[in-house]
Amino acid sequence: MTEVSHRYFVLNKPYNMLSQFIGPADARKLDELAFDFPEGTHPIGRLDGISEGLLLLTTNKKVTRLLFQGETIHKRSYLVQVYKVVSPENLQRLREGVAIRIRGTEELYVTAPCEVEIVEKPTNLFQSGYEFDERIPHTWLLITMTEGKFRQIRKMVSAINHRCQRLIRLSIENLSLEDLQPGQVREIEEETFFRELKIDNWK
């Protein structure tokens, strides 16, 4: 039997676009991107519509299970802009874990410890469709975590009384946006894709 050859892509998902090819007629979707994806391409995981940044796509249906449903945990890093100045106490609360509500359950869930630091806004950060007055007090956070509950980061900063204004996924393990601009796609060779994601059992 001939082995099927799969393809792998990194996308900088734009603001206000769904992480799917099919959906409501009035919503922006991945099929509007100026890239000729092969038949069977699907996103690995999701970013909500107003979040931006790294989204992986592939024709290989095994990747979602290997990356998000396996025993090995994988780090994801996010650049997050929130209203108001975050105090050292609230920064530590985020690091240690905060209680949030999980979709489909009434019980509170305490998030796993994660890495959080206050950072300067990158000088080369790409433009977003979201407009924000930089004169309003705000904080940029770099958050690295191994969980990915529904809207988790937005709920985490809300739990410390801050509102998330902009959320950009920068990387998953060693796969990063690099210099991709919103809507741009980079294709990656199969072995490189799995090596950068630190997945060994893909063959």
Residue 36 is a catalytic residue: no
| Residue among 26, 31, 36, 48 flagged as catalytic | 48
Beta bridge partners of 175: 172
Q: How many Å apart are CA 162 and CA 152, to the nearest integer? A: 14
Catalytic (active-site) positions:
48
